[in-house]
A and B are shown apart, each in its own frame.
Chain A
Amino acid sequence: MEMIYALCVGILTTCGIFLTLRGRTFPVVVGLTMLSYAVNLFLFASGRLNVEAAAVLQKEGAAYTDPLPQALVLTAIVIGFAMTAFCVILAMRARADLGNDHVDGRLPLADDDQAQKEKP
């Protein structure tokens, strides 16, 4: 289980970082979302992975799982969600204000040439 879990976090982070380094706002937003998924999973695992254990302490010394990371993940999810929503709106605003969806607000020259070739 640990292996699969670690792989999931790793792959999500890799994809997230790759996508945030792209030039257009849409992949960047998707990348940020993936990063926040990865971070949520990672935080969840920081209290160790337990199977069939309740998140509350019981009187009998039954197995329990650390409840704090779950609270942290909830906070992180809420914040991440709000941030993603803001980022989407900002990306749309940038598209409207700047006339393109490049993160720098202007297309690099190579793209311009290509666009002109494609036009006719």
Chain B
Amino acid sequence: MEHLAILPIILPLLSGVMMLLPPVSSENSRQRALSLATCGALVLVTLRLLLQASSGEIQLYVLGDWQPPFGIVLVADRLSTLMLLLTAVLGFAAMLYACGGDDKRGKYFHPLFMFQLMGINGAFLTGDIFNLFVFFEVLLIASYALLIHGGGKQKTRASVHYVVLNLVGSSLFLFALGILYGTLGTLNMADMSSKIGLLSGSEQAIASTGALLLLVVFGLKSAMLPLQFWLPRTYASASAPVAALFAVLTKVGIYSILRVFTVIFGEQAGGLAGIATPWLWPLAILTLVIATLGILAASSLRQLIGQLVILSIGTLLAGIAMSKVEATGAVLYYLVHSTLVCGALFLLADLITQQRGKAEDRFVTARRMCQPVPLGIAFFIGAMAIVGLPPFSGFVGKALILQSANIENQAAWVYSAVLIGGMAALIALSRAGTTLFWNISREKDACEPVPRLQLSAVFLLLATSPILVIFGGPITDFTLDTATQLHGLSRQLGPLLPGGGS
């Protein structure tokens, strides 16, 4: 299948457009069917792409047959296909949940969801840094509209911050691209990588400005320390399926950091090699610290999960800052785990909110939930997985990351930060669970049972955590191979530049 690589972009685009036209636009049931079909198809397509890439082959899709470095290429290597599959699974579960009733709270939920998926998939696939910007914008525009889906004061207020911050971020992104294009004369990532070593001293200084501006932009997307204040409120106010899908948005930032700072500013970059590492390391540790404080201070379940997202970002950044193959492999495993589990927790928080009436998800005494058993089991599994207790995937991921730290200079920092963060999460989640499930007032429970569809979506996502452990061997092998391929890309650009560069 020659055209398989572009399907993850084309499929959601076409179905999103179809949903805006009759006969699909008129009825919600048709939109749901088409959405679910598209999400299901995406899972299959990306799985096929992943299997194809797992042989180590890098599939180049040259749009319009303009050979790289001219024109735009899509690159389906191990890393991008892994991220695609992750997005597809998360998207499917979030859509399943939305079909339980959340999609009716506002207009155009389904088309926007499709455009959001298209933007995310495009950002993962593209091999051209300007195109990365364009897909960032596609996913951002969709996310602005999805964030406000359902309406309400909280959402509007969170939206204003989110939109303004991201617009400033986009401007910075363009400044960075302008600087890099001005010095390197190309925007194809592989070509940039081959040229960056040739820069003279003064040009290197300018290019390093561009590189660090890019780090700021990706740091904003991924909620790195000084740029993370928007995240808890935004994620806490978004409706559940949207928040679950947003769990992968921060990972787009992480992916971009990995891609740009290992491929373009990798070992071959001369004076610019590893330019982000001295910044990433302290920022990662500080992100962990501030997330730990945030976790202990959170006053509602969704805010708590937002802080847990930041904690996972801190852990990932620490892994990236170690900048070696084993650490990157561990980061990828942890990334998959944390995205899926955080997504599940956001969905679960909404179910708990539905059943607690006016108390919503705040940690106060409230009436008894009418389905405490299934929700309690789900909460227990999700909490164990995200804290990193065995036998769930969080434990494996954290163990792998901690194992790959250098004993002399890194281990002390990363062990204490990650483990204290984990303990804070354990304390906060135990307190949250006790309050939510056992601190019950005498009011009669009058809530409706949650739709089966929504419950199954939560359990579908939670089930990935034990699966990640049971198939831990092959999966860690795969992530390690992915990391090897990624770190090798900057040395062997042959597969990415068949024409040999300009």
Q: Could you list which residues of chain A lie within 8 angstroms of chain B, going by C-beta atoms? A: 16, 20, 25, 28, 32, 35-36, 38-39, 42-43, 45-48, 68-69, 72, 75-76, 79-80, 82-83, 86-87, 90-91, 93-94, 97-98, 103-105
Contacts and interface: CB of A to CB of B under 8 A. Distances in A.
B157 A98 contact: yes
A105 B152 CA distance: 12
Given A39-B174, A47-B182, A90-B148, 11 more contacts: A16-B171, A32-B164, A35-B167, A39-B175, A43-B177, A72-B177, A79-B170, A83-B170, A93-B156, A94-B159, A103-B160
Contacts of B181: 43, 46-47, 68-69, 72
Contacts of B170: 79-80, 83
15 contacts: A32-B171, A39-B175, A42-B174, A46-B177, A46-B179, A47-B181, A68-B187, A75-B130, A79-B134, A86-B163, A90-B159, A97-B152, A97-B157, A104-B157, A105-B160
A48 B177 CA distance: 14
A72 to B, nearest CB: 6
Given A83-B141, A97-B156, A105-B160, A32 B178 contact: no
Contact of A94 (B157, B168, B174): B157
B163 A43 contact: no
B176 to A, nearest CB: 10
A98 B174 contact: no
Contacts of A97: 152-153, 156-157
B203 interface: no
Chain B at the A interface: SS class: helix
A1 B392 CA distance: 63
B137 interface: yes
B195 interface: no
Interface in B183-224: 187
A86 B160 contact: no
Contact of A42 (B159, B161, B178): B178
A36 to B, nearest CB: 6
* Nearest 7 interchain pairs by C-beta: A105-B157, A46-B182, A46-B178, A35-B171, A39-B174, A97-B156, A43-B178
B167 A83 contact: yes
A79 B175 CA distance: 15
Contacts of B168: 20, 32, 35
Interface in B353-368: none
A79 to B, nearest CB: 5
A72 B153 CA distance: 37
Nearest to B156: A97
Nearest to B186: A68
B304 to A, nearest CB: 22
B395 interface: no
B134 A75 contact: yes
Given A32-B168, A83-B167, A103 B156 contact: no
